[in-house]
Structure 1
Amino acid sequence: MPRAPRSPVAGDWPAGTAQHLGAFARRGCRTVFGPVVSVTPFDTADEAIARANRCETGLAGYVSTRDLALGLRVAERLEVGMVGLNRGVVSDPAAPFGGVKESGLGREGGHEGLLEYTETTMIAVRW
């Protein structure tokens, strides 16, 4: 049996990590709600970003790396509402929660979420 790939942050992937899923995993654009991780090999950060950004959805993205500067550059270029950098949980009651593209519009939680309950009035004055 092939050995599971190593995570640069957390060591070996758990024994239950699904591998060799063919076209389903290669596309990587399916929204799966559950304790599932998609591990997709790539040659360059640009290739990984292009693969992620071609998806029609964009709730959250995850980056695992030993190079924090690279991780931040990748996170800034991902077309998603939230990014987990070297962590698996991105939600926090004090932070905005929401996606982009077909994964939503607007935010819940945090300062940005409170703005959803406000009405803005523009007043134009000539003095």
Structure 2
Amino acid sequence: RGTEDGANIGPLIDEKSRSAVHALVADAVSKGAKVLTGGAIPAGEGYFYPPTVLVDVPTNAEILKEEIFGPVAPVVTFKTEDEAVKIANSTEYGLIAYAFTQNLNRGLRLAEKLEVGMFGLNAGVISNPAAPFGGVKSSGLGREGGFEGIEEYLETVYVGIADPMND
């Protein structure tokens, strides 16, 4: 069930979601990606999908074009920073991107160039209730959380007050 002591991963929400994740993995493998771990629907009840790492993922794999929403890490190699940005931005989605680098300037450049609503630099989890959560492109419009999230529910009213010194 994913709630037992010692469990460190839970199930996906339903069979449709698990099948969609597996279809993306299968497509990548059919196009040349290699599975380092995971990659198969396990036997048993529930909608579990194992943590999966794919390497040598070709840029024409659907897994690089879609939002995965499952425990899959597709690894793509690149030669230049510009090539990495081009690959990352070649999808209609843009929820979040992560970069791990010792070079802070490179990380900040990537944060500016990547077409995403959120960016994690040297961190795998950046969720914070005080921060705005949301994506760009087909990953959403608007934000939840933070000051930006409350603005969706507010109406701005301009109030002009006469200057008492000019009466």
The TM-score bracket by the shorter chain reads: 0.7 to 0.9
TM-score normalised by the chain length of structure 2 = 0.59
**Is the CA contact 2:55–2:76 (under 8 Å) kept in the aligned structure 1?**
no
Query: Which amino acid in 2 is paired with 1:88?
Result: G
User: Where does 1:1-127 land on structure 2 (aligned, <5 Å)?
Assistant: 17-22=53-58, 23-24=60-61, 28-122=64-158
Shift in Å, 1:21:
4.2
Select the structure of larger CA radius of gyration. 2
Query: Which amino acid in 2 is paired with 1:96?
Result: P
Q: Percent identity?
A: 50
Q: SS of the residue aligned with 1:31? A: coil
**Is the CA contact 2:57–2:75 (under 8 Å) kept in the aligned structure 1?**
no
Give the number of aligned pairs.
114
Deviating runs (4+, > 6 A) in structure 1?
A: none
CA RMSD in angstroms comes to 2.6
Q: What do residues 76-124 of structure 1 show as CA deviations (whole Å, max 9, x unaligned)?
A: 1111000111111121111000000001000000011011110123568
**Is the CA contact 2:92–2:138 (under 8 Å) kept in the aligned structure 1?**
yes
Q: CA separation in 1, counterparts of 2:88 and 2:141?
A: 19
